[in-house]
Structure 1
Amino acid sequence: MSSRILIVGLNYAPEHTGIAPYTAGMARALREDGWDVEVVTGLPHYPQWQVHEGYPREDGPLEVIDGVPVRRIPHPVPHDAGQLRRLGMEIVFGLRAARAPWGKPDVVVVITPALFASAIVRVRAALARTPVLVWVQDIYTAGLSETGAAGGLVTRVMRAVEGAFLRSCNGVVVIHDRFSDYLRRHMGVAGERITTVRNWTHIAEAPTVDTAALRQRFGWGPEDVVVLHTGNMGAKQDLPNVAAAAQIAERRGAPLRFVLVGGGHQRPQLEELAATTPRFEVLPSVDNDTYAGLLRAADILLVNERAGLKEMCVPSKLTSYFTAERPVLAAVEAEGPSASELAAADAGIRVAPGDPEALVDGALRLHEEWVATGDTVHRGGRRYVREVLSRGAAVRSFVSALGKLRPGLVAEDRAPATVNS
């Protein structure tokens, strides 16, 4: 009989950016490999911070997504993603997820940075003496500190809370070795409890969308050098810096066109900037096929981070960018994990964050190199994805982490789930 794995996380499919694709992808992969996997999750709302159409705010029937049984937990969704409102959403989700039907899982997997929801779920699991594996996609208190969202005292208290929670879990999965180092140095988590499981790309290598038609559809001319940023539009992305770069490009007469695709709580502000800023535009989130096509329709793919971010995250968009085989421009700190990923993949260049002049200069230089070499430089991304960031490697590492918690866990061949399975 297959071992039962219960995954509890706030974000899941059909959200197609951020954490959700990795949680959903791992659940599907484990189910396909014979594990008895079920998911307890929230209402799909990210990155728009609005509940997706068709999802009621009360308990609904059990879903099956790609063969995985999924139970939706209703919760409030804050319209502006402020810290206190997000905290309220997390607590409500955590309390309701802890009261939801679980059955008797062999292991409970919780997903952070929904720290408080995960901590509440951890309490129920402890009462049932069920081992808990926490999957750390972002370091909660590093984010508070580096974005300035909380003062020094609050950050220190929160770091103590986060550290206590992580140490209480039976195992910890992180998405980068930099996270592992941080948890050992600042949170006191024992190294033998930590497993690195790299995120993988969730887009097709060969999209079915006509990229030339996409450029025409969005009004991008052959003379436009499109610099594309995708995903969340929040504080840590510092996207007003990109709008400022567009203003500089306009003054210089440079052919750069800066395009943002996605959603987030800063989107209204950015749309206002786009209305008055030539060479700067904001597009809504798109489906996966269109997204994959846009990555290849652009000339340069952009990662833009707030100055000072050195520990808190590895942008999930990088894995998709690398697969697209377009040069990547990263306005990030040299000491951060985004810069190290870019260098390891040999997929682009880095410029200083928070400097729109450097962003314009970097985009022009990168495009000139790309054209001058016949598209032969900065093409290591796809190789890096296949060798380091493959889903198969991630699943093997994740199964290894599960085995550390409870030796003897087994998978077996099983039919896809149905609502009644």
Structure 2
Amino acid sequence: MLGVNYAPEPTGIAPYTATMCRGLVARGHHVEVVTAFPHYPQWQLQPGDRRTLTRRDVRDGLGVTRVRHYVPARPTGIPRALSEISFGARLVTRSWGRPDVVICLSPALLATAMAAARTKSLGSGPALGIVVQDLYSAGVGETGSGGSVLARIFGRLESTVLGRADGVAVIHDRFKHTVVNRLGADAGRVAVIRNWTHVKPVQDFDKPAFRARMGWRTDETVVLHAGAMGEKQDLSNVVAAAQLSQSRSLPLRFVLMGDGGQRVSLERQGAGVSAIEVIPPLPDEDFGRALRAADVLLVNERPGLNEMAVPSKLTSYFSSGTAVLAATEATSTTAEELAAAGAGLRVGPGDPGALVSGVLTLRNDPLTLDELGRRGPDYCARVLSEEVALDAYDDWVRLLHRRKQEC
């Protein structure tokens, strides 16, 4: 299993990769992981890891080898590409032993491309599977980070990499449509395996006492963003909504909980605004309590995002039983997922006034707010089951191996 993100990183794709590996071990597979040192979402190495080039641990019955790579302070553009290439270089220069199946995680696409090339250079060697958590070329195009030319280049690269795989697993039906119809992958080799909630169930707790400990008043509506603070989250929109709320003396509190490349900038923007606070990630138990104690859980996306990602926070949000407010395009994968769950309200992205209005709509209709919250756990039980997903990954890995043996 080759991927740049792994436990104990608390957000993003790391929890899914780690759970998938543990699930495969539990289903009889021998799994070896090569990954980076923990650095996400803060994009910083831990002090104890900064002088270590390689470390091997045994976690949950599987071997985890960590390799140092370049971690940029601002993970955009060329620095982000160099980070992925440096990780890919560490991957391809290591011994992998004699695996039956090599699974690569994308992102990071550039590292995956390098690892896929090495895998295929072995001829009759291992089967190659790629798990797609984000559509890289769509991200370049939708965020405008490299222009249309770079988006086309990454589109060709992504198409080539996925086309060389013996099988591809994607996390949403919309992803499969894009991978098959835009990137040219063989539909028969693309499986849809949904993500699941990775937040542990929270035991009953004293919600008023927890809110008091967090400094959240009983008379205010708490709107919580929990997760990464990067460019695609466009959280400046939330700061602007908080400024608008404060100017109108509205009883709203916006809370940005997490870390990421934009955190320092957001703290500067929110300085002096009492309607917003930026707080670090909470430990697991308190994280789940925060999701349940908030009044509204927020997904905020940059205008123009449609196909590139399904926010991993949605699975955790739905499981919490708290209503979701999504500032996203009407045609986005996020909007489609929210509508399928029936667990929240959508407003337009990049519009602080619309965001405030959406919060007020939910605040002023507590019956609807409660009903939306109740629908989330039901959707998780029906569609986002961890055991169903892990069984599907088990079947997928075994299929990859069989296909390779039949060649």
Match of 2:254 among 255, 258, 261: 258
Unaligned runs of 5+ in 2: none
In the other structure, the counterpart of 2:82 is: 88
In the other structure, the counterpart of 1:117 is: 111
**1:20-419 superposed matches below 5 A:** 20-128=14-122, 129-207=125-203, 210-369=206-365, 371-372=366-367, 375-407=370-402
Distance (whole Å) between structure 1 residues aligned to residue 2 and residue 382 of structure 2: 29
1:337-388 per-position Cα deviation (integer Å, ceiling 9, x unaligned): 111111111111111111111111111111222x245823442110111111
Would you say the 8 A contact 2:55–2:67 is kept in 1? no
Distance (whole Å) between structure 1 residues aligned to residue 169 and residue 323 of structure 2: 30
CA shift at 1:287, angstroms? 1.8
Would you say the 8 A contact 1:47–1:263 is kept in 2? yes
Q: Which runs of 4+ in 1 moved over 6 A?
A: none
State, as a whole percentage, how many aligned pairs show the same letter: 46
- TM-score scaled by structure 1? 0.92
Distance (whole Å) between structure 2 residues aligned to residue 157 and residue 196 of structure 1: 25
Distance (whole Å) between structure 2 residues aligned to residue 182 and residue 75 of structure 1: 31
1:53-100 per-position Cα deviation (integer Å, ceiling 9, x unaligned): 432443344112222210001111101112211111111111111222
- 1:16 and 2:10 equivalent? yes
Distance (whole Å) between structure 2 residues aligned to residue 80 and residue 60 of structure 1: 24
1:15-70 per-position Cα deviation (integer Å, ceiling 9, x unaligned): 01001000001001111122111100001000000112432443344112222210
Which secondary structure does the structure 2 equivalent of 1:231 belong to? Answer: strand
Would you say the 8 A contact 1:57–1:75 is kept in 2? no
RMSD, matched Cα: 1.6
CA shift at 1:289, angstroms? 1.4
Would you say the 8 A contact 2:102–2:126 is kept in 1? yes
Distance (whole Å) between structure 1 residues aligned to residue 32 and residue 205 of structure 2: 33
Would you say the 8 A contact 1:111–1:137 is kept in 2? yes
Give the AA of the match of 1:37. V
Give the AA of the match of 1:44. P
Distance (whole Å) between structure 2 residues aligned to residue 86 and residue 373 of structure 1: 42
In the other structure, the counterpart of 1:417 is: none
Which secondary structure does the structure 2 equivalent of 1:41 belong to? Answer: strand
Give the AA of the match of 2:317. Y
CA shift at 1:207, angstroms? 4.4
Give the AA of the match of 2:4. L
Give the AA of the match of 1:236. K
- Paired residues in the alignment total 402
Distance (whole Å) between structure 1 residues aligned to residue 51 and residue 282 of structure 2: 24
Would you say the 8 A contact 1:173–1:194 is kept in 2? yes
Distance (whole Å) between structure 1 residues aligned to residue 76 and residue 372 of structure 2: 41
Distance (whole Å) between structure 1 residues aligned to residue 115 and residue 280 of structure 2: 34
Ranked by relative contact order (alpha carbons within 8 Å, sequence separation 6 or more), the top structure is 1
Give the AA of the match of 1:337. T
Residues 187 and 372 (structure 1), Cα distance of their counterparts in 2 relative to 1, 3 Å cut: closer
Which secondary structure does the structure 1 equivalent of 2:270 belong to? Answer: helix
CA shift at 1:404, angstroms? 2.6
Distance (whole Å) between structure 2 residues aligned to residue 147 and residue 308 of structure 1: 7
Would you say the 8 A contact 1:208–1:293 is kept in 2? no
Distance (whole Å) between structure 2 residues aligned to residue 177 and residue 374 of structure 1: 28
Give the AA of the match of 1:91. I
Distance (whole Å) between structure 2 residues aligned to residue 137 and residue 151 of structure 1: 22
Give the AA of the match of 2:182. H
Residues 201 and 400 (structure 1), Cα distance of their counterparts in 2 relative to 1, 3 Å cut: same
1:148-201 per-position Cα deviation (integer Å, ceiling 9, x unaligned): 101111111111111111101111010000000001121111100100010000
Which secondary structure does the structure 2 equivalent of 1:223 belong to? Answer: coil
CA shift at 1:210, angstroms? 4.8
Which secondary structure does the structure 1 equivalent of 2:111 belong to? Answer: helix
